Amino acid sequence: MAGLGRNFNTLWAATTVSNIGDGIAAAAAPLLVASVTDDPVLVGLAVFVQQLPWVLFSLVSGVYVDRLDRRRLIVVVNVLRGLVVGVLALAVWRDAATIPVIYAAGFLLGTCETLGDNASGTLVPMVVKSEDLPRANARMHAVFFAVNQFAAPPLGAALFVVAAALPFGINAATFVLAAVLISTLRGIRQSAPAERRSVRADIGEGMRWLWNHSAIRMLSLALCLMNVTLIAGFSILVLYSRDRLGLNEYGYGVLITASAAGSLVGVTIAPRLQARFSDSLLLRTGLIIETLTHVGLALATTVWVAGPVLIAFGVHSSIFGAVSVTLRQRAVPDELRGRVQSVYMMFAVGGSALGALVGGPIAGWTGITGPFWASAVVMAVLTAAAWRSFGRRFVTSGAVAPIDDGGSRDHACEQAALDR
């Protein structure tokens, strides 16, 4: 980590700790829901409930991320997350974790995420220089994929088998430890907010900035639909792995690390691919790979087919994110980062929430592979529709005209793209 400074090292350590807990809980939570109900609708709704706050509160949260001290905000939110997950762990230990209790915990966590994740997404460009962003983002992506999606999920599944409450207790502890680490950050320069206006006016400024940046606008809309199709299938993956592939809890934990294994490869090769090929080519290729992912999972009947499909998806997903995140960080002015990111995340997580809402019913009506077939069709249509827009001129089409926002600053836009 040499060369990026103490603040980045501290942020990286806090991210590592929180990703350990999140990865453990990511495997344990679906197992908890599946242990309470076999209804695919209720299983899918558990994902939807946690993502619903992004649709309801993301825009307002973005305003306060720009108005408040982001470091302190993250500390407070992480402590609150720890309390919520700690209560859930106690409920599981006392055999009181009913569907309403799980849904309530998920909704509260999702609400905290609209503040904490929006604020966290602004920290990297605040603690490293612009020229160091590619290296810093690569390390952040690497720890996410290595820990959150690769190493921790099998551990979470194993801990759930040993004691169902244990993975949630560990997750609560990691939130608190991450809060302690973030509280030690010093010397972060945050742009002072403009004159205090109404929440509605601040939200409008962030929405106009994104909408007038044609590249980010197109990617945001495409990402929304891509996440609908992705989560429609992945929200019932725990049932798919059990009923379609015949895997037990340990097998499910291993399965969800397959895409993470691919993601680690993707993080390694993304800078080379970006240097050699255009962003337009990488985006178009990503659309094709994502379409084929749904086809492959719909056809798979064993883990020996589903696993490689998820590995390929992981490679694509990490490349998609690595190519775009630095460009977006550089494009958005610091004083607007919270608000623009909140609009961007509303599209992204809103799509995920809708996918979680429809995945269960589709599986109930058409069978466990139904969501994957439906997603393949929708992705094929999206690929055809977005193909021309994602052409060679796409990334350079981000310049915007001045925004008339009643006296606030006008912002010129650089290149930008999607953070998957």
User: Which stretches of the chain score pLDDT less than 70?
Assistant: 1-3, 189-196, 326-327, 329, 392-420
Residues 334 and 304 in one domain: yes
Q: Are residues 167 and 206 in the same domain?
A: no
Cα→Cα distances 315→95, 153, 263, 319, Å = 39, 18, 5, 6
211 exposed, middle or buried (CB, 10 Å; 0-12, 13-18, 19+)?
A: middle
The overall pTM is greater than 0.75:
no
Question: What pLDDT is attached to residue 332?
Answer: 73
**Domain membership flag for residue 404:** no
- Residue 413 is predicted with a pLDDT of 24
Domain co-membership, 279 together with 387: yes
- Res 211: pLDDT: 83
Same domain, residue pair 165 and 234: no
User: Residue 179 is part of a domain; what is its CATH number?
Assistant: 1.20.1250.20
Question: Domain end: 155, 185, 215, which one?
Answer: 185
Give the chain's domain count.
2
11 and 144 inside one domain? yes
* Calpha distance 70→64 (Å, rounded): 9
The token duo for 365 is 């009506």
Claim to verify: residue 130 and residue 73 sit in the same structural domain: yes
Residues 83 and 115 in one domain: yes
Give the model's pLDDT for residue 392.
Answer: 65
| Domain interval for residue 115 | 7-185
pLDDT tens for 185-212 read 887 766 665 566 777 788 887 778 888 8
Residue 411 pLDDT: 26
In a domain, 259, yes or no: yes
Judge whether 66 lies within some domain.
yes
Mark whether 77 and 122 lie in a shared domain: yes
Residues 135 and 221 in one domain: no
State which of 125, 159, 185 marks the end of a domain: 185
Q: 402 in a domain, yes or no?
A: no
Domain co-membership, 31 together with 175: yes
The reply to whether 176 and 215 lie within a common domain is no
DSSP 115-151: HHHHHHTTTHHHHS-GGGHHHHHHHHHHHIIIIIIII
Encode pLDDT of 262-317 as tens digits.
888 888 888 788 778 887 888 889 999 999 999 999 999 998 999 999 999 989 98
Same domain (yes/no): 46, 96: yes
